[in-house]
Amino acid sequence: MSLLSVEEALQRILARANPLRRTERVALHECLGRVLAENVAAKLTHPPFDNSAMDGYAVRHEDIAEVGAELSVIGQSAAGRRFRGDVKGGEAVRIFTGAPVPAGADTVIIQEDTEKLPDGRIRTLFAPAKGRHIRLAGQDFLAGDVALSAGSALDAGRLTLAAGMNHRDLPVFARPKIAIIATGDELLPPGSSLGPDQIIASNSFGIAAVARDNEADVLDLGIVGDDRTAIAGAVAKAQAAQVDVLVTLGGASVGDHDLVQSTLLGCGMTLDFWRIAMRPGKPLMVGDLDGVTVLGLPGNPVSSLVCALLFLEPLTRKLAHLPPRSRLVDARLAATLPANDRRQDYIRARLTLEADGSLVAHPFPRQDSSMVSIFAQSDGLIVRRPGAPEAASGEACSVFRLRDPA
């Protein structure tokens, strides 16, 4: 049986996904990570008036062209309380950072470059250039300037700019909605007292985290047993909630109790593909149920997480109008790895940062896809191409980064 490659699987998943058209207005403090659905123009000019960049004195440049000028201080201009008069020849106005520059002044001399005379006047110790330390009105942006464009993801800088442009809320694309259904007769939620043969359903938490980390809203439909009616009931709930993606966990393999695919086919799903050449995660299933992308992830927690990072993350980001995350980095191996078979391998590894800034990948000796404790300790996954020959310690390798090295 020839299995689909990871690259082809990802291409096919992304080919079916269109960035969402739904939009909404969201309050600024809830906009972090959201993507603008429209261009956003400034509602005002910033700065609204010429103001001082420093604490000092507002002066006429012609008066201070020579070091040692002596000026009378005729008042002060503070942020929020401007000096109302004019600065004339031989005069200075005490000024503070952000305060409006008074009429007549064209330069600010910082206080460190002056000394106070016993009669209250000041003497200049330096001759700044004309216009020094004055921020001109509108130098940041003008009312009507389109300073943020549609398609921009809102981060700290862009949110500050939106607020500065006097917007209380912003038009953003809706978040993708992702339903998660865990399947298996053996599963109980965290906090349960387990009976014989039972285990905790942990996967949903990791998969929901991947979805949320990529700006999706999650509808956790809980656990259903290995039972067609129960699975179909949960699928119907996901459809009624009009989700964009349906993720099922477990029951994806070939055992007698692996009923997810056949149940979904019975619900009307068209199967795109099932099983790919990767480890962990071989039984990945992808289909379409009336426009909803279905990702059937394997039950083993590590398989499920690796598939979610490789496929659900890029899918969600495309739906959410976000650029793909580049997670691949170069590293050197800290141990020898055996030749690989035909499945692309994702080997759990710790990463260390060397003094020269390079990364070293330390593979864990145990790679069982049920061992979530190893995955949780992993900073990255060493990517081993299908058919890769043995790789010696010290050789270059490619790592799918999970987090920064400790």
Q: Contact residues for ligand MOO (CB under 6 A)?
A: 279-282, 298, 300, 303, 369
Q: If DSSP codes are grouped into helix, strand and coil, which group holds residue 314?
A: helix
Closest residue to ligand LQZAQKY5: CB criterion: 299
Report in angstroms how near the CB of residue 286 gets to ligand MOO at its nearest: 15
What residues form DSSP beta bridges with 200? Answer: 188
Report in angstroms how near the CB of residue 225 gets to ligand LQZAQKY5 at its nearest: 11
Residues 252-291: x/- map of binding to ligand LQZAQKY5 (CB under 6 A)?
xxxx--x---------------------x-xx--------
* Cα angle: 9, vertex 278, 320; to 5 degrees: 40
The residue type found at 255 is G
Report in angstroms how near the CB of residue 373 gets to ligand LQZAQKY5 at its nearest: 13
Report in angstroms how near the CB of residue 280 gets to ligand MOO at its nearest: 3
Query: Quick one: what does residue 187 bind among ligand MOO, ligand LQZAQKY5, none, with the CB cut-off 5 to 8 Å set by partner type?
Result: ligand LQZAQKY5
Contact indicator for 210, 305 with CB cutoff of 8 Å: yes
Contact indicator for 181, 248 with CB cutoff of 8 Å: yes
* 187 binds ligand LQZAQKY5 per the rule CB under 6 A: yes
Residues 371-390: x/- map of binding to ligand LQZAQKY5 (CB under 6 A)?
--------------------
Applying CB under 6 A, among 128, 176, 184, 314 the residue interacting with ligand LQZAQKY5 is 184
Report in angstroms how near the CB of residue 7 gets to ligand LQZAQKY5 at its nearest: 19
Residue 201 or 294 with smaller CB distance to ligand LQZAQKY5:
201
Angstrom distances, CA of residue 164 to CA of 37, 84, 146, 167: 19, 26, 13, 7
* 343 binds ligand LQZAQKY5 per the rule CB under 6 A: no
Residue 299 or 314 with smaller CB distance to ligand LQZAQKY5:
299
Query: Quick one: what does residue 97 bind among ligand LQZAQKY5, ligand MOO, none, with the CB cut-off 5 to 8 Å set by partner type?
Result: none
Tokens (6 digits) for 50: 């010429």
Residue 306 or 320 with smaller CB distance to ligand MOO:
306
The span from the CA of 334 to the CA of 119, in Å, is 74
Strands (E), 30-69: 40-41, 51-52, 56-59
Report how far apart the first and last C-alpha atoms of the chain are (Å, whole number). 41
* 56 binds ligand LQZAQKY5 per the rule CB under 6 A: no
Report in angstroms how near the CB of residue 190 gets to ligand MOO at its nearest: 22
Report in angstroms how near the CB of residue 303 gets to ligand LQZAQKY5 at its nearest: 4
Helices (H) and strands (E) in the chain, counts: 9, 26
Torsion of CA 383, 216, 287, 221, to 10 degrees: 110
Q: Among candidates 186, 234, 178, 236, which has minimal Cα distance to 207? A: 178
- Kindly report each contact of residues 65-71 with a partner whose C-beta sits within 8 Å and lies 24 or more positions away, as own/partner: 65/127, 66/127, 67/124, 67/125, 67/126, 67/127, 68/123, 68/124, 68/125, 69/123, 69/124, 70/117, 70/121, 70/122, 70/123, 71/121, 71/122, 71/124
Contact indicator for 301, 372 with CB cutoff of 8 Å: yes
Residue 100 or 250 with smaller CB distance to ligand LQZAQKY5:
250
Q: What share of the chain is helix, strand, coil (3-state, %, to 5)?
A: 20, 35, 45
Residue 51 or 253 with smaller CB distance to ligand MOO:
253
* Cα angle: 358, vertex 359, 362; to 5 degrees: 150
Kindly identify the residues of this chain, within the stretch 292-321, that bind ligand LQZAQKY5 according to CB under 6 A.
298-301, 303
* 202 binds ligand LQZAQKY5 per the rule CB under 6 A: yes
Applying CB under 6 A, among 52, 124, 261, 369 the residue interacting with ligand LQZAQKY5 is 369
Report in angstroms how near the CB of residue 279 gets to ligand LQZAQKY5 at its nearest: 7
The residue type found at 238 is A
Task: Work out the number of other CB atoms within 10 angstroms of the CB of residue 394.
Answer: 11
Total residues at interface with ligand LQZAQKY5 (CB under 6 A): 27
* 344 binds ligand LQZAQKY5 per the rule CB under 6 A: no
Residue 165 or 312 with smaller CB distance to ligand MOO:
312
Binding residues (CB under 6 A) for ligand LQZAQKY5: these are 182, 184, 186-187, 199, 201-204, 249-255, 258, 280, 282-283, 298-301, 303, 369-370
